[in-house]
């Protein structure tokens, strides 16, 4: 694990609707403007997840204005991946996609295996608890990886 903080971080997951925007918001809350932080997904076929918005709001992270974007969207909009110091992949598919870019660009890629909480829980409170577990897992990992 690196000892110094990067200046720019891209979190990525499958759809950029749960894990990566949550990690983006939590890191922004943790470091403020000291690190440039964005997120992206492999696919862009979903909107930001409502449970993600709710559990992040509980800790003061506002994600209701988050707009889902993909790696391809970023490249079309001129946001080059080689401008990031670190890509943190939160799913196997996003790790594979991020590693594709390391063939052409000198990027550091870390893989933080995280569960997709969207398929768990029979009722609202059970779902909320799974999303809270993800939030706390990401928060702990962020605080350990990006010390202040």
pLDDT in tens, 92-137: 999 999 998 888 777 899 999 999 998 877 899 999 999 999 999 9
CB 110 within 8 A of CB 141: no
Q: What six digits make up the tokens of 34?
A: 């000291």
Domain of 124?
8-141
| Edge-first strand listing for the sheet containing 108-111 | 36-41, 8-13, 86-89, 108-111
CATH of the domain at 26: 3.40.50.2300
Global pTM exceeds 0.85 = yes
| Number of domains the chain is built from | 1
Write out pLDDT tens, residues 60-76. 999 999 999 999 998 88
Q: What six digits make up the tokens of 129?
A: 């608890």
Q: How crowded is the C-beta side of 40, counted as CA atoms within 13 Å?
A: 22
In a domain, 65, yes or no: yes
In a domain, 2, yes or no: no
């Amino acid at each position: 694990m690196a000892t110094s903080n990067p200046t720019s971080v891209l979190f990525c997951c499958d759809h950029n609707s749960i894990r990566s925007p949550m990690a983006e918001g939590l890191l922004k809350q943790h470091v403020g403007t000291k690190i440039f932080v964005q997120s992206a997904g492999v696919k862009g076929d979903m909107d930001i997840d409502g449970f993600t918005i709710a559990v992040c709001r509980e800790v003061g992270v506002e994600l209701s204005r988050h707009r889902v974007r993909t790696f391809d969207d970023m490249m079309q909009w001129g946001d080059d991946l080689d401008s990031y110091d670190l890509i943190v992949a939160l799913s196997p598919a996003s790790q594979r996609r991020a590693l594709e870019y390391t063939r052409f660009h000198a990027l550091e890629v870390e893989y933080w295996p995280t569960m997709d909480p969207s398929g768990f829980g029979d009722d609202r409170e059970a779902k909320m608890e799974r999303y809270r577990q993800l939030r706390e897992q990401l928060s702990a990992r962020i605080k350990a990886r990006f010390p202040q």
